[in-house]
Amino acid sequence: MLDYFSIKFMNGKLCFLDQTKLPDVEEFICTDSPERIALAIERLEIRGAPLIAIAALYGVALAVKASEKNFYPAIERFKSTRPTAVNLFNELRDLERFFEEDIKNQNYEAVLNFAFDYHKKDERYCENISKIGADYIENLFNRKLNIITHCNTGALATGGIGTAFGVIYELHRRNLVNMVFACETRPFLQGLRLTSFELKKNKINHVIIVDSLASFIMKKEKIDLVIVGADRIAKNGDTANKVGTYSLAINARYHNILFFVAAPSTTFDNEIQEGENIKIEERSPDELLSFGSSKVLFNQINSINYSFDVTPSDLISGIITEKKVYTPPFDFSYD
Ligand code: MRU
């Protein structure tokens, strides 16, 4: 049982843990303002592909509470928050269909229940991913493992225990984790600040490494596997995830290490064939050119701050979903 949570809807408000302050400060913000929720997503106070979608659905419900006329403007506002994680777009599309399907669905309670249902569904999906992934990996190795992970994919990023983190958590429960090497995840430090917070809370052995150390650690520490989450998976299995994932996959291939992606079916984009078509979020250079609250003060430093990259499917050993583990060549069309 976890003793922390990322978001909870209570007393007509969405309460969320401000992830920009972790791990030093555990501060909850409670709001009934849809705009405040949209800002929280943009600022990464709320983040992680499934959690962004959950928060946006609650946000639309609160907008409809004020007036049903707010439905479409709220949908558009949330669509504009972050472009890469597809869960947001998939769920807002499903909510639009639900709203249009029946006049009885066009009120606060109905939209709020839609949000609750998706939140619960994501929790169940995380549980399934964790078990299915851990079964598969236990079958392959059946011994204690050294695992590399990237970014944060736990309870802070989802409605449940997490995706890649969920698999690690379940392996740990089965006493199959020797060490987790968590990449710090420059520039926003989701690995250093958030994954270490969750690994520590759950008493899982871990160390933090700088992203660029991963290849040397693969050589030095007998790494068994890499497991990461996803923000958008194309029909051919190409996967967008936090920047640095692609390098990890190349390094894993060079060192003959298995590379897994864990994600719910809500992270699949059935409209795009390959990763080329994924829109990659570019964030403010300030995130890159600062360390905590101190800025690098040189004027006119040029930077590119892509928040995600795309790993080609041929570098992926398996994609773990709530249904099964897909292995290459990937074909998701019959599920
Ligand atoms: O920018 P972030 O922190 O929202 O990026 C998060 C990731 O890249 C995660 O790996 C992904 O969303 C999966 S979370 C289960």
What distance in Å separates the CA atoms of residue 280 and residue 205, rounded to the nearest whole number?
33
List strands edge to edge, sheet with 145-149.
206-209, 177-183, 145-149, 225-228, 258-262, 318-320, 325-326
Q: What is the reported pLDDT for 231?
A: 98
Residues 178 and 279 in one domain: yes
Ligand 1 center to residue 48 CA distance, Å?
4
Give the confidence band of 291 by pLDDT, cuts at 50, 70, 90. confident
Strand partners, 154: 162
In a domain, residue 126? The reply is no
Q: What is the reported pLDDT for 286?
A: 87
Residues 87 and 149 in one domain: no
In a domain, residue 280? The reply is yes
Q: What is the reported pLDDT for 295?
A: 79
Domain finish residue from 121, 153, 169: 121
What distance in Å separates the CA atoms of residue 187 and residue 180, rounded to the nearest whole number?
20
How does pLDDT run across 4-40, given as a tens digit for each residue?
A: 889 999 999 999 999 999 999 999 999 999 999 999 9
* Residue of the CA atom closest to atom 2 of ligand 1: 48
Instruction: Determine the atom of ligand 1 nearest the C-alpha atom of 241.
Output: 8
Residues 91 and 144 in one domain: no
pLDDT at 298 > cutoff 70:
no
Name the token pair of 116.
Answer: 């609750």
Q: What is the reported pLDDT for 47?
A: 98
Ligand 1 center to residue 192 CA distance, Å?
14
Residue percentage of the chain with pLDDT more than 70? 98
Q: How many domains is the chain built from?
A: 2
Decide: 264 and 122 in contact? Cβ < 8 Å. Answer: yes
Instruction: Determine the atom of ligand 1 nearest the C-alpha atom of 158.
Output: 15
The CATH number of the domain where 184 resides is what? Answer: 3.40.50.10470
Q: Is the CB of 186 under 6 A from ligand 1?
A: no
Residues 287 and 164 in one domain: yes
Q: Is the CB of 204 under 6 A from ligand 1?
A: no
87 closest CA partner among 269, 272, 243: 269
* Ligand 1 pocket test, candidate residues 45, 130, 153, most atoms within 8 A of CB: 153
How does pLDDT run across 106-143, given as a tens digit for each residue?
A: 999 999 999 999 999 999 999 999 999 999 999 999 89
In a domain, residue 334? The reply is no
Ligand 1 center to residue 230 CA distance, Å?
7
The CATH number of the domain where 98 resides is what? Answer: 1.20.120.420
Q: What is the reported pLDDT for 41?
A: 98
Q: What is the reported pLDDT for 334?
A: 66
How does pLDDT run across 237-285, given as a tens digit for each residue?
A: 999 999 999 999 999 999 999 999 999 999 999 999 999 999 999 999 8
What distance in Å separates the CA atoms of residue 200 and residue 3, rounded to the nearest whole number?
12
Decide: 244 and 210 in contact? Cβ < 8 Å. Answer: no
Give the confidence band of 335 by pLDDT, cuts at 50, 70, 90. low
Name the token pair of 126.
Answer: 């995380």
In a domain, residue 21? The reply is yes
Instruction: Determine the atom of ligand 1 nearest the C-alpha atom of 150.
Output: 10
Q: Is the CB of 231 under 6 A from ligand 1?
A: yes
Q: Is the CB of 47 under 6 A from ligand 1?
A: yes
* Ligand 1 pocket test, candidate residues 152, 161, 189, 322, most atoms within 8 A of CB: 152
Residues 141 and 201 in one domain: yes
What distance in Å separates the CA atoms of residue 309 and residue 21, rounded to the nearest whole number?
25
Residues 181 and 275 in one domain: yes
Residues 220 and 244 in one domain: yes
Decide: 229 and 239 in contact? Cβ < 8 Å. Answer: no
Domain finish residue from 68, 86, 121: 121
Domain finish residue from 68, 94, 121: 121
Q: Is the CB of 243 under 6 A from ligand 1?
A: no
Residues 242 and 308 in one domain: yes
Q: What is the reported pLDDT for 98?
A: 98
Instruction: Determine the atom of ligand 1 nearest the C-alpha atom of 47.
Output: 4
Q: Is the CB of 50 under 6 A from ligand 1?
A: yes
Q: Which residues contact 309 (CB under 8 A, 6 or more apart)?
A: 240, 241, 242, 243, 244, 245, 246, 247, 280
Cα distances from 128 to residues 322, 323, 333, in angstroms, run: 5, 7, 20
> Which residues does the annotation mark as catalytic?
231
Ligand 1 center to residue 153 CA distance, Å?
6
Q: Is the CB of 275 under 6 A from ligand 1?
A: no
How does pLDDT run across 145-201, given as a tens digit for each residue?
A: 999 999 999 999 999 999 999 999 999 999 999 999 999 999 999 999 999 999 999
CA atoms within 13 A on the CB side of 289: 14
Ligand 1 center to residue 85 CA distance, Å?
8
Residue pointed to by tokens 């998701």:
332
List strands edge to edge, sheet with 308-311.
232-233, 239-242, 308-311
pLDDT at 318 > cutoff 90:
yes
Residues 44 and 193 in one domain: no
Residues 228 and 159 in one domain: yes
Q: Is the CB of 321 under 6 A from ligand 1?
A: no
Residues 115 and 158 in one domain: no
Range of the domain at 145: 131-326
Residues 286 and 152 in one domain: yes
Q: What is the DSSP letter of 182?
A: E
* H or E, element range at 34: helix 34-42
Q: Is the CB of 49 under 6 A from ligand 1?
A: yes
Task: Cis check for the bond before 23: say yes or no (omega within 30 of 0).
Answer: yes
Strand partners, 242: 308
